[in-house]
Amino acid sequence: MSDTPQTPIGAGVATPGVSHRHLADGPEPDDGAWMTVFWSEGLPVGHVFTGGDGVVRRVPPAPRPRVARPPAQDRALPTASVVICTRDRPDELRRCLSSLPSQTLQPLEVIVVDNASTSDVTRLNALAANAVYVREDRPGLDYARNTGAAKARGEIVVYTDDDVLLHPAWLENIVAAFDAPRIGAVTGLVLPAVLETPAQHHFETFWSFARGYERKEFTPEAFRARRETFPAWEIGAGASMAFRREVFDKVGGFDERLDVGRAGCSGDSEYWYRLLANDYACRYEPTAVAFHYHRASDEGLASQLFHYMRGHAAALLVQFERTRRIANLRRALLGLPLWYGRRLLKRAYPRDRFLGREIRGFVSGLGYYLTGPWRG
């Protein structure tokens, strides 16, 4: 690729603010407004990013042995159902659906779960893309996720968000990562599709979905050995995640008290946490690449961070409820309050530009869980 702004996967969507280069193209530009992603053999392998705090972050390429792989159609891969949950975002949905026909592994089916949209455009967009359309009238992302899992026929249930574009090898690589029976979940690398605004820059600096370019394993043994709260949020992002179909039968579905439309977030990380507690391993697979459109406005980002911390606080209490691991309670009632107290004293701008919204979200999440009808 050239070093000029362009679409990450050639789907005709401009990406100012993110530069994509082959490793051979030379040194990265010294420009704080740019994130440079380096590519090799058709996949991103590293990046350089100057964050909203002015710190240059270099995520170097991971050593990857060259492995000759047969085409997807010649490999014995499990069947996969792709589930996209959406509500009143028809343009984003159409853009996401446009990146599925070019996948090197074609899904058994694409399921669009319409989570109580107020118009018929979502249904029309889904049908125009030859997707299976399912209506879920209970507002809440985890209601929609569970509806999608119940409808899915594939051996692997793969989720992505409507505000995402997918690399052509995304589905093949996320499905191929289920190469051992105990792997219950796989997540992928999520990079920003654009970095045009200060809000998008702030999010990528302090809340990035990217987890690096090396495969990571999260095992039940590591989960049991950790005395502090296991950081399940480091496993990946709900914008790119997949599960063996069997796990829904064995450990249940997503907790419908969490995530967008309910607590606000963390339905995905609570589910990874629950899989680890039930002896499944989780894997982060960086060759399964997706590109996410971050919130463009400060108002949208402030609301997002409020709900992130609201959902995280509630999820910690849900995790304690399910596993009785005291570390979750300690983080919710002691660790995070102390952390926020220190940040209030320091006010380390620019990280704390939305600190008040974060704290209000955290307090709201505790109240949401502690006063909910399930506590009766």
Say if residue 24 is exposed, middle or buried (CB neighbours under 10 Å; 0-12, 13-18, 19+).
exposed
133 plus 257 within the same structural domain: yes
Could you read off the pLDDT of 116-174 as tens digits, one per residue? 999 999 999 999 999 999 999 999 999 999 999 999 999 999 999 999 999 999 999 99
Same domain, 207 and 309: no
Q: State phi, psi for 360 to the nearest 5 degrees.
A: -65, -40
The verdict on residue 58 lying in a domain is no
Q: Are residues 254 and 340 in the same domain?
A: no
Structural domains of the chain, count:
2
Q: Is residue 81 part of a domain?
A: yes
User: Quick one: three-class SS letters along 192-239?
Assistant: ECCCCCHHHHHHHHHCCCCCCCCCEEECHHHHHHCCCCCCHHHHCCCC
Q: Residue 325 and residue 348: Cα distance in Å, rounded?
A: 32
pTM across the whole model: 0.90
Q: Are residues 351 and 326 in the same domain?
A: yes
Structure tokens at 256: 């419908």
How far is it, in rounded angstroms, from Cα 236 to Cα 242?
Answer: 11
Alpha-carbon separation of residue 162 from 147, 200, 284, 290 (angstroms): 16, 17, 21, 11
- Indicate the range of 232-236, 300-304, 327-331, 344-348 predicted with least confidence: 344-348
State the pairing for strand pair 56-59/281-292: unpaired
The answer on 192 and 112 residing in a single domain is: yes
- My answer on whether 249 and 362 are in the same domain is no
Task: Indicate whether 237 and 323 sit together in one domain.
Answer: no
Residue that terminates a domain, selected from 279, 296, 313: 296
Q: Which residue from 241, 258, 244 is spatially nearest to 310, judged by alpha carbons? A: 258
Position 107 scores a pLDDT of 98
Read off the pLDDT of each residue in 321-350 and give the average, rounded to a whole number: 93
CA distances from 153 to 79, 98, 109, 111, 188 (A): 8, 22, 8, 10, 22
Domain membership of residue 370 (yes or no) is yes
User: Predicted confidence band at 18 (pLDDT cuts at 50, 70, 90)?
Assistant: low
Residues 175 and 288 in one domain: yes
Statement to judge: residues 242 and 227 lie in one domain: yes
For the cut 90, the answer to whether the pLDDT of residue 12 exceeds it is no
Give the domain range for residue 125.
76-296
Beta strands in 251-326 (DSSP E): 281-292
- In this structure, are 178 and 257 located in the same domain? yes
In one-letter notation, the amino acid at residue 301 is: L
Give pLDDT, residue 314.
Answer: 97
> Which of 241, 275, 296 is the endpoint of a domain?
296
Band of the pLDDT at 267, cuts 50, 70, 90? very high
